Structure 1
């Protein structure tokens, strides 16, 4: 097939010492910043709006529109916060981006800060990835030394201080308001909205919170223009993006391609499934999105296409599972994660995820009781839309979709353990034989 990859963010990842300022500048780095400094903040916002860039962290909200929500008459300072707390199971796009090309993010932060009028910005990074924290801080130091950060950037009168903040490893801090609480030094728990962060965010001041990939995409848009960006992707989901392909595939990794590519095309680019494998189910956007099956191989991987198929594009974490995988066991592992990571603030999520795990464990061990499937559905119904934040909703999605597509496996859990139906050794042996 034709190579449909569109390396933009990942274009220089293989360069020698790609993460340094020198290497980044050689491939055109900070050229977009010069153009942005010659533009007014209003023009920058309008440019990003017209480009059609949508948030690359989950819901796909238009980035330029989010920037425009910042009130102009608020006396408090404006802040930009980058959500780099990548913790969703199966999601691994922001960390390699920050490792290979941290200056792409730093340049995006400077441009975005100019657009919204912020003189203080933060990158909130998952604390466990210490190597990423160190690399980002080194890049920020280089940017200060080069005059890209600090006071009067490029003689434009623009001031900006950038802080790289390491979190403490809580998945809940990926939720933007919990992230703000953590950044302020409090326990990371979601806030009641309204007020929304654009009005009262960090330190009760106007705040824009964007995902790493969203901000990192801005320099390319400023440098190459709206028409160039719109030439990739679909009508409503424009541009390029990073797809994380993992699971039972020959070449797992990051594939930067236009929005709207299909899993069939990505699997072909990734060498296909391991020999002898048959696609059983997959996640289009991480473990918190409803699972899809082989019948969805040709669904366009954009916000509209995946939504029409009954799931969400989310973080574009494509976890692929073959016929050796137990759906019940897989869903149980994900649910155990969500139970562990629940912040405990609201009852539906705190208690609901605990009970979901108990029922799934029974079914996984072949000790399910009559009515357990209905009980799972009822529990999910009491969590969905009733929890304080989206973590509770995300915990229910794989369960309800798994029952929809593979109810017979849950029914088998009434009398047969998953380990007998799908022996873990079979998958390992299968992999060893076909390697």
Structure 2
């Protein structure tokens, strides 16, 4: 049991430090260069060469800039890769702004419903606090992006291009969150005062109109129809007039998003089970956020299978761990900071999730893998941070980083063994809103 530090105890600490013969040189190295630079493994480059036995041709990377829209970018990247292959248009890009607009409207709508349902719970209840914490946030899940595509379709980036407020979302997020909190408090009070359903719905309608106006002013209003025009890689001209966004998706994309599943490795909870995160759903009646939690070996295997068949993969990860952003390196031993201090600071993947260190902080796209003796050794990663990071925007990831910091991959159900497909039909276990997978 810890006790108050006495002068004698402090003196003993100082004396013990004086016994360290490496203290002076390490102090100079760390104080001058910082912990990360002093512990950086310069030999990492030999593990991270950019040659892959399986590599899907892709074009120029996208750039989410100062926003948290990676989950949308990664899904749209997987779709545009298919379009590029099928119609021979290398650098075709879909509008992230279009989905972002509708996400703000839908997420406000479901926020109002959730506030009503929890209105009689104390304001300091953990779920209520979660709802009010940042209701205008950018972050999201694969299923949320899939729900938006299924309901609203997609449009080319040229039809609804980026704006200042989509590439720099902080200002809009701040204003929207404040407005939603104000709306939520008003709805809570009305429920506690016994307001009827008609009164609540009328108020929600006017509140939602305000959110729509804010989004329209900031992002531009989404098109209801457009003319598709493009030149393919052989410079042939193509044009289809008067397409709705839903028509465009149905006619030009053959991806049924209901055939895909989020395969997760979250060892802080029992494996071989289906989990859900309903408090993060963004569309009432839309696609549910669900995870099939499996061993890392299963997750790796299904990802390799899909890449072998020529299809890129949305994946969720904790990108800020052991990353060299400039070089585009992801390596679990890139920084040996614990060894620098002569300590063992290792936490298992489960322990990091249990203690709050581990989280799904980013989504990117797997576009290649290097297989040596039937074992994956490194992966090619398409990021959405523009061409100035990594090699023209592409990162390379070692298998040990994949094992430690990748939590989710989205693959077609056909790659799952029958016993895992059967689990998909089971009733999912509900996770709390603050689970590390959120």
TM above 0.5:
no
Between structure 1 and structure 2, the one with the greater Rg is 2
User: Normalising to structure 2: TM-score of the pair?
Assistant: 0.23
